[in-house]
Structure 1
């Protein structure tokens, strides 16, 4: 019984990684889309005075309430990815992978809290928030999400792609896709709206691959 139990755990962990990655990708994508739609950026920020649609605010608030669950699934995704990589791994890259994932989670929570604060300053009857409060909260939310969280996500994707390439646990096309995703997150996401969606898209593709290769045969 002691010899079989570790084998069953090794079979189940990679498949759990795929499921956790799918849920994380869907939750993060939904949060990003609703955050973009509910809290405008750039030239569209002038609509702050018209931010009186209670239904839209409630939809954004409901999406932001999913951020903690996205963080939980992402942490599970990190642990299960490390189990999928195996015991033979580059300790330096493994540390970068884990550290960037943890920092990304912290930045994601911070961006969600800042966006929630923007919604909270509005009057309960639906009045527009004060311009100073709106600008501060809006800029803080977008800085945390596009400048810091996405760059940490880029480091996470790059380190995972390098590890997968060196150890052969990821196919070549998926490694190349990871490098392109990392470049987008590091250099493009802060200046091009909606570019941050490449991270949940990459997570979804990687999760699908893990679900495909992790079966009873492993």
Structure 2
């Protein structure tokens, strides 16, 4: 899952981005609406987390402009404003959620996950592929009922493969879903991560390599 954070505060912005990365998200950070607008035009995101008011503009204006183009990208606004009229204005301009500062980072993470799940109505909370199982709400993965110890990035890659079980997932698709601009991947970073994930999963190897293209989780897998 890839998230765009719009926050001009030089201290809070990097902390929000770091907390979301620690939770397993790929995160890009923008400090102005113009920078956020540019990133939205060139990257695919699953959610936007934006400060309600920034010196160079208003996040509501940016969100409303993208809504007019037909975008359904969910957004969470961070704000010090908590009057009913403020919350109503946020929702009227297309915000999906509203979190008042100061806030607990654990709550922010869960609200972002909830927004993402809300936009995926057909997705089952538990994905299964052969003897592999990924419990999305609990962020747990297991094989043959044995709990796996995965890093946040390994879990993210496994989730993408499970969601498209039986299909070829290209390296580019994995990069766009699981990495961000702050961690611009090297040419072989996907291959290295897949190697680590294979060792975590153990034999027999459930991940097939499609030479020159990408990877595929077994043809008989289902989610």
**Fold similarity call, TM over 0.5:** no
**Could you state the TM-score of these two structures normalised by the residue count of structure 1?**
0.26
Of Structure 1 and Structure 2, the greater helix share is in: 1
Bigger RCO of structures 1 and 2 (CA < 8 A, at least 6 apart): 1
Of Structure 1 and Structure 2, the greater strand share is in: 2
**Could you state the TM-score of these two structures normalised by the residue count of structure 2?**
0.26
